[in-house]
Structure 1
Amino acid sequence: MRHAEFRHHRLVQVYDAECKWGPDDDFFQAMVDETPAARVLDLGCGTGRLTVALAAAGHTVTGVDPAGASLAAARAKPGGERVTWIEGTSALLPDRAFDVAVLTSHVAQFFVDDAEWARTLADLARALVPGGRLVFDARDPADRRWERWNPVDSRRLVTLPDGGEVRAWTRTTGVRDGVVDFTHHYHFDDGEELLSSATLRFRTEAELRASLTRAGFLVNRVYGGWQREPVGRGDGEFVVLAHTGPVAPIF
């Protein structure tokens, strides 16, 4: 199943158990907190780990995601009632409604087609107030992360809240012109095996900067990791900070 880790109720539980709070969440939280009591958009919010935390910190938060099963898990989290949840895409966003928008967990890479990515950026520019901030992450293609997506290097054991265990690994199935296909494999201890396939786009820093400029954003910084390292000397990431004109925010 395509994107089953976000759409299949059993795999959503695995995703939640596997993807705990980390340095990336600390970074995004700190970025948002620079605007007190901000109106925040979490686009591609998934199961709402960061979304709920931002609301608990006193922000007015909207979480948007096309996967109903992920949103159901998000709504059920303690504090989920503080968030406005929308099942859908950026096309549903209201105009000039947000001070800060975040796309986390490499959501930006799921927009494989350039035209789709351009539409999403245009929607974000429309939804942010003048001077509104956009923060997102994407993997640096120079890090060649997909080469570690194989049954040996990616093998892990996920423990579920009920004590059940899931053996999981990831296999890259195709690489072409910055586009990577892969499949997650999940073996449950009751014998069920589930697969989740997806495709990601690995854009270069120059490609990301150009796409943001075309959408009307001004790029403030591109870091290479969660401790604000230079590109190429961090975590194999692009951590992108941009804003809509004309007001220049502080990063």
Structure 2
Amino acid sequence: MRHGEFRHPRLVQVYDAECAWGPDDDFFQAVVDETPAARVLDLGCGTGRLTVALAAAGHTVTGVDPAGASLAAARVRPGGQQVTWIEGTSAVLPDGAFDVAVLTSHVAQYFVDDAEWARTLADLHRALAPGGRLVFDARDPADRRWERWNPVDSPRRIRLPDGDEVRAWTETTGVRDDAVSFTHHYHFADGEELLSSATLRFRTEAQLRDSLGTAGFTVDRIHGGWRREPVGQGDGEFLVIAHASRLAPVA
């Protein structure tokens, strides 16, 4: 199953249990909070962990995601009623409606095709007010994270709210240029095994900067870790903060 942890109700529950609040959430919360009472877009919001927290902090928040099962979990999360939830992609975004847009949990890497990534950035530029900020994370390919996605390094046990435990591990199934394919394996206490596959694009810093510039963004900062370390000295991340600097992207 492609993207099963976002689309399959049972795997959505596992994903939500595995992905607890962490330093990444602290980073995004702090950046968004630099704009008081902001109109915030969380594109690819998933089950809404950060989305709801941003709303609780006093922002007006819209969560957008194409996966209905993830949004169903987000809507019933405590505090979910404070968020506007939309099932869809960046194409549905209204013009000039947001002060800050965030893409978290490496959502930016799911846009494997350059044309799709360019369309998404153009939509985000259109949806942001002049000078509005875009904040997202992507893994630094120099860190070669995919080499640790194997049965030896990736096994984990995930405890669900009902007390059941799920055994999980990840395997890399293909590397072609800067696109990496992988499969998550999930083994449930009742004997069921579910698989979820995906492909991620590992763009370089130069590629990210070029694509943002073409879409009309100016890059303010790129950090290498959740404590805002320089690139290459943090957590193997690109944490990008940019702002909409032109009225429209370059044609």
TM-score band w.r.t. shorter chain: over 0.9
* In 2: Cα distance, 1:176 partner to 1:140 partner: 16
Report the counterpart of residue 240 of structure 1 in structure 2: 240
2:104 pairs with 1:104:
yes
* In 2: Cα distance, 1:246 partner to 1:3 partner: 34
* In 2: Cα distance, 1:232 partner to 1:8 partner: 36
Q: How far did residue 245 of structure 1 move?
A: 1.8
SS at match of 1:99: strand
2:193 pairs with 1:196:
no
Report the counterpart of residue 113 of structure 2 in structure 1: 113
Report the counterpart of residue 174 of structure 2 in structure 1: 174
2:6 pairs with 1:12:
no
Q: How far did residue 164 of structure 1 move?
A: 0.4
Note the alpha carbon deviations across 1:187-242, whole angstroms, 9 max, x for none: 00100000000000000000000000000000000100011100000000000000
What are the equivalent positions in structure 2 for 1:1-251 lying under 5 Å apart? 1-245=1-245
SS at match of 1:101: strand
* In 1: Cα distance, 2:219 partner to 2:35 partner: 18
SS at match of 2:108: helix
**TM-score normalized by structure 1?**
0.98
For residue 178 of structure 1, what is the amino acid of its counterpart? D
2:4 and 2:195 in contact (8 A); partners too: yes
SS at match of 1:71: helix
* In 1: Cα distance, 2:181 partner to 2:118 partner: 21
Q: How far did residue 139 of structure 1 move?
A: 0.1
SS at match of 1:14: helix
* In 2: Cα distance, 1:246 partner to 1:140 partner: 27
Q: How far did residue 246 of structure 1 move?
A: 6.0
For residue 79 of structure 1, what is the amino acid of its counterpart? G
Q: How far did residue 5 of structure 1 move?
A: 0.5
**TM-score normalized by structure 2?**
0.98
2:216 and 2:246 in contact (8 A); partners too: no
Gaps of 5+ in 2: none
* In 2: Cα distance, 1:207 partner to 1:134 partner: 16
* In 1: Cα distance, 2:246 partner to 2:89 partner: 26
SS at match of 1:195: strand
* In 1: Cα distance, 2:13 partner to 2:206 partner: 36
Q: How far did residue 50 of structure 1 move?
A: 0.1
* In 2: Cα distance, 1:109 partner to 1:245 partner: 23
Q: RMSD in angstroms over aligned alpha carbons?
A: 0.9
